[in-house]
Amino acid sequence: MENDAIQLKDVTRVFGAGDRVVTALDRVSLDVPRGTFTAVMGPSGSGKSTLLQCAAGLDRPTSGSVRVGGTELGGLGETRLTLLRRDRIGFVFQAFNLLPALTAEQNVALPLRLAGRRPARAEVREVLARVGLGDRARHRPAQLSGGQQQRVALARALITRPEVLFGDEPTGALDSQTGREVLALLRAMVDTERQTVVMVTHDPVAASYADRVVFLADGRVNGELRGVGAQDIAARMTALEGAPC
């Protein structure tokens, strides 16, 4: 559908060969509408991170189709795939991955500089203000709290105005209060700016900020929940983790 930011159809990802074959994803189909917040959960080894990596063009599926904004990733060479990730996709990970010698505004501007663009200071300051760090532009990472560093990482991901923002445990290294602040910021970006967010998490509280929670088990989609709280999400996770293989 044209309204989908991400489309996965029958995606399979196999690692290894012979007796050591591991099927991380097994014919997964999933559509992510634009302007929505999707959380992906599942037991350890269920394929969550592999799903994110294939959807974001960081890894190629063994078979199946992945589309970002209507662009089929399977037909792209490495150079075009790199350009797509740079220009149309944003990433936020558990590790902030900021360069310690650079200020907050220099870290945020880095993707533009790597793309050969000379970033306007006003543009960089504006995106820092969006994440609540307008007064921290000249601070280096060591001068910022963990939550502030993650906000800088978020601003860096947003500076290219990505079609989709992918988060891999983005609050995993934060305390609960700071994590909630970052999640509220992501929620607000979806609600007010129609940003599309796809987040892998193990935390039911984090997942409760999403519009829907997609569950994986043994490399397959195992249902989803919408409009429920952390308690219901935790109960579903407990049932999945206790299910026989």
Tens digits of per-residue pLDDT, 22-64?
999 999 999 999 999 999 999 988 999 999 999 999 999 999 9
pLDDT at 1 over 60: no
pLDDT at 135 over 90: yes
pLDDT at 120 over 60: yes
| Paired tokens of 167 | 């988060």
3-state helix, strand, coil in the chain (%, to 5): 40, 25, 35
| CA 170 to centroid of chain Cα atoms | 8
Give residue 133's pLDDT. 92
| CA 62 to centroid of chain Cα atoms | 21
pLDDT at 244 over 80: no
pLDDT single digits (tens) 63-92? 999 999 989 999 899 999 999 998 899 999
Give residue 13's pLDDT. 96
Q: What is the mean pLDDT of residues 128-137?
A: 92
| Paired tokens of 70 | 């209507």
116 vs 153: which has the higher pLDDT: 153
CATH no. for 4-242: 3.40.50.300
Is the pTM for the entire model greater than 0.95? no
Give residue 18's pLDDT. 81
| Paired tokens of 245 | 């293989």
Give residue 95's pLDDT. 87
| CA 186 to centroid of chain Cα atoms | 11
